[in-house]
Amino acid sequence: MKLTRTLKVVNKLGLHARAATRLAQLAHNYDARIRVIHGDQSASADSVLGLLMLQTCQGQEVTVICEGSDAKPALEAVTQLFSGRFDESE
């Protein structure tokens, strides 16, 4: 199964080190290949360095692609993490 969703980066600092680490930790919980695409760059969601290199800022959009047996729950969890501002206050 392959699912795709466009998400908006709503937290103030974008996909910075703490947020990228949270996403990478979440990605390890699912039997799914999760990719994040920003512009012409792509990174595996389980790679903190790869996510940082996407250089996303507040207000920008990313495309998340989940493939595998846990694609649906993985995509829902990633969506919730983004919409919840990575559990940050701003």
Q: In order of start, what are the domains of the chain with their CATH numbers?
A: 2-87 (3.30.1340.10)
Strand order in the sheet with 33-38: 2-8, 61-67, 33-38, 41-44
Count the helices and strands in the chain (H runs, E runs): 3, 4
pLDDT tens digits, residue range 1-11?
Answer: 999 999 999 99
The mean of the pLDDT values for the chain is 96
Is 38 designated active site?
Answer: no
Annotated catalytic residue, options 16, 18, 22, 33: 16
Task: Record the pTM.
Answer: 0.95
Task: Place 22 in a pLDDT band, splitting at 50, 70 and 90.
Answer: very high
